[in-house]
Structure 1
Amino acid sequence: MRRRRGMGSVFSLSAIDLFASGMGAFIIITIILMPDYQKEVRMEGHLAYLDALARESETLLDETEMGVERLQMALDAARTRQLELEAEERILGSEINTLNAQLTARRQQPTPAVLDEELEDTANAHAVTFRFLGLKTEQTRYVLLVDMNKFLGEHSELVLRSVGRALDALQPGFEVGIIGFQQLDDGPRFHHWPTEGALAPVTAANRARALRWLGDRSGAFAGGSPMLAAFEAAYRTPAGAVILFSDGLPNPAFNRGLPARPLAQAITVANPGNVEVHAVTIGDYFKYQGTVAFMETLARANSGGFLALAQ
């Protein structure tokens, strides 16, 4: 019985010694690995901080881009409004000039009529290079913009004669193109001579070709007048002057919902800035209120002249 107790004491001390050795080894290993653990913990904290900074930076960048886009939109809107105000100023100026001219005419005594030929003889030949029924300009490149809506169909011969007189007034060395325009069921349709966006030298042969080309389309007058789209097409040519032949009755439905005065303003805003617009009103313009005012306002606001022709 005593031997068994002695053996139990030895085993118990050996176990304690083993456990103590293991604990000591664990403590030593822990002390050795503690700095690496702390570095890893700090590294995870740094990474989390960097992630947070990255998210904040992305948020700020998104907000900045949105702010820049909003500023750009505001700037574009301001520029558009500036162009609209400039066009409105030019329109108001043209109306004031018209009223002043009417007032002056009433105050003055009537004078005998002077023919265009007499005026041309007394005018400075170097200041005016083109004269058509009183329309005068120094430009040498022209687009004849011909309205082909259905209401002008009964005046197609007058349109053809008027365009022919304009072509005859062009001098050799000038350039000319014709754009016929109309609004059909499938949308705006344009007829180009010689080709889209191009002008042809003024020669006797080209005058005949252009007039024959337009005469072949005398039976194609139909639909409405997409006036704004027609001027945008004319502005894309190299012409320095546009001569519009129309009855002055553009339907707002075919012109982005714009009535006459806002339409004249939109055409003026779309003008690149140096293209003259001359307006020739054709047909029964005296039957409709505002047609003459629209054509005259459009011409004066774009440094052009205005005249009206009836059958």
Structure 2
Amino acid sequence: MAGFNLTSSDPSTFILMGIPGLEAAHVWISIPFSMFYIIGLLGNFTVLFVVGKEETLHKPMYLLLCMLALTDISTSTSIMPKALFIFLFDLKIITVGGCLTQMFFLHAVSIMHSAVLVAMAFDRYVAICNPLRYATIITNVRIAKLGLVSLIRAVLLILPMPLLLSRLPFCANHIIPHTYCEHIAVAKMSCGDITVNRMYGLVLAFVVIGLDLTLIALSYGLIIRAVLRISSKEAHQKALNTCTAHICVILMSYPPGLFSTLGIAPHVHIILANLYFLVPTMLNPIIYGVKTKELRDKMGKYTSWPLGKGSRVGP
């Protein structure tokens, strides 16, 4: 506790409290969190390994899966190592620079993750609505360019956040009631005017999430219209099956974020905030491994996992 009292007023450090009110249960909470994190890493690295190893999987759809896996690994890794150090070893201190760096990477990769989901929706749209031109419209080079544009967009949009925060004076109380450095949680530590920070965060959330969700909804609206024009029920089922995995990933990625706007208890909010980054990371490779026949077969070749039957998710 002496170290805690000494460093709480240190202007160069913050203190991440973990989950306030549940300090006595931190060790127990770390068990499922660490399991989810490890399973997520294993699953996503398996996807990256299998796709990289198998030349038959060097296709746009699997390149998008690799991008999704990389963003999942990055988001969970940006928060979980520090969270586990807090839970297991009570190491709560983080430098201001380290805090701003963690915040930048977490939010930037989250925006990239959203952009990848938009690209995957466009991929499914072309596969269903324009299958004869799929190979000419969706190429590995274009997917790589989309990935680069997504990275540049994320960096340019998020970079002002730590820059604006770094110019603010921080109060003597540097205690952040969270497991990681979230933008508004850090801004609240300032003694200065954070109106610009709040407004920028809100506008960014509405613009990015609003734009990306609109593009995804537009893609699926066009897909549904195209499917309804197909007379064969078998063709209906086949077309819809190509979208199942992507829809599941979208449902895990966007709706849980609404919990942050609800008036729930702080400790529940923090637990959900962590699970928001852990659960999709763990389940995404499982969903695509089960629902994508080609990927499932190749994963079974390397892991000997009996992943069972699933629908082919390809053009």
TM-score normalised according to structure 2 size: 0.23
Q: Which has the higher contact order (CA 8 A, sep 6+)?
A: 2
TM-score normalised according to structure 1 size: 0.24
